[in-house]
Amino acid sequence: MHNIPTNAANSDNLSVIEAIYQRRAVRNFTNEKTSRERILQLLDAAVQAPTAMHEEPWEFMVIQDTTLLKRISESAKNALNLSTDKPALTASAMHQRFTATDFNIFYNAPSLVLVCAKPVGEFASADCWLAAENLMLAACAYGLSTCVIGFAVQILNTPEWKKELGIADEIHVIAPIILGVAAERVVQVTRKKADLLAWK
Ligand SMILES: Cc1cc2nc3c(=O)[nH]c(=O)nc-3n(C[C@H](O)[C@H](O)[C@H](O)COP(=O)(O)O)c2cc1C
C-alpha cells in the first residue's frame, strides 16, 4: 500500500472528481513560485499513473529560471517564424499573436515541468501523458494551476536545447506543463457530451 503524503490527504484538498471538473488551462499567473516540496509531491502523484508493462518510462525536469524560460520561448517563436513560409499563414491572427515580441509561450508562469519519456516500449508516450494528467489534477487539488504547452515540444526536442538542458539524446520531451498560482479566475470551457458510438 502506497503511503499517501500526509498533506495530500488534507480534507481541504479537492476530491479527484472535483479536480477533474475544476481543472482548467490557466494562462495568467502570479509570481509566486511553487515550492520544491510541493513540486516533488506533484511528481510523486504523476508517477502513480498506469504504466504499460510497468515500464515507468517517465523522467521529469523542473525549470524555474525565468530568463531560461524566456529564452526557450523566443527560440520556439523564431522556429515558428522560420518554418512558416506561406504568406497567408504568416498573416493569420494566430501566427501574429504567437510571434508578437511581448508574447511568452509560457505565459510568464513561474515554473515549467517537463514530462519526458525514456525510449522503452510502444506506450512510453501514453504513460507520460497519463502521468501528466495525474500531475495536473494533483496540482488542481492543491489549489495550483497548469497548462500544457504543446508549442514548446518541438523546440525542446532539438539537439541544441537538449544539450543545453542536459536531456540525453534518446529522451523525448512529451509534455511541457506550466505551473503556478492563477492570477484570475478562469472561465469554464465546456465540453460536448461524450459521443457514445454503441453500447452492445
Ligand atoms: C497536447 C496539448 C497541447 C496544448 N498546447 C497548448 C499551447 O501550446 N498553448 C496553450 O496556451 N494551450 C495549450 N493547450 C491547452 C488547451 O488549449 C486547453 O487544454 C483547451 O483549450 C481546453 O481548455 P481546458 O484545459 O481549460 O479545459 C494544450 C493542451 C493539450 C492537451
For the chain, the structural domain boundaries read: 29-83+100-180
Determine the residue of 147, 155, 156, 178 to mutate for testing ligand 1's pocket, defined as the one with the most ligand atoms within 8 A of the Cβ atom: 147
Kind of pairing between the strands at 145-148 and 111-117 = unpaired
56 close to 118: Cβ distance less than 8 angstroms: no
Determine the residue of 26, 128, 135, 148 to mutate for testing ligand 1's pocket, defined as the one with the most ligand atoms within 8 A of the Cβ atom: 148
49 close to 125: Cβ distance less than 8 angstroms: no
Cα within 13 Å of Cα(9), Cβ side: 5
Task: Give the chain's mean pLDDT.
Answer: 93
Distance of CA 3 from the midpoint of ligand 1 (Å): 32
pLDDT value of residue 138: 98
pLDDT in tens, 48-94: 999 999 999 999 999 999 999 999 999 999 999 887 666 666 667 87
Q: What single letter denotes the amino acid at residue 49?
A: A
Beta bridge pairs of residue 179: 111, 146
pLDDT in tens, 122-171: 999 999 999 999 999 999 999 999 999 999 999 999 999 999 999 999 99
CATH architecture of 29-83+100-180: 3-Layer(aba) Sandwich (3.40)
What would the mean pLDDT of 1-30 be, rounded to a whole number?
Answer: 81
Atom of ligand 1 nearest to the CA of 147: 15
Assign 19 to helix, strand or coil. Answer: helix
In the numeric block, which cell numbers belong to residue 116?
519526458
- 113 pLDDT more than 60: yes
Cα within 13 Å of Cα(113), Cβ side: 31
Q: List the residue whose alpha carbon is closest to atom 28 of ligand 1.
A: 148
Specify the pTM: 0.94
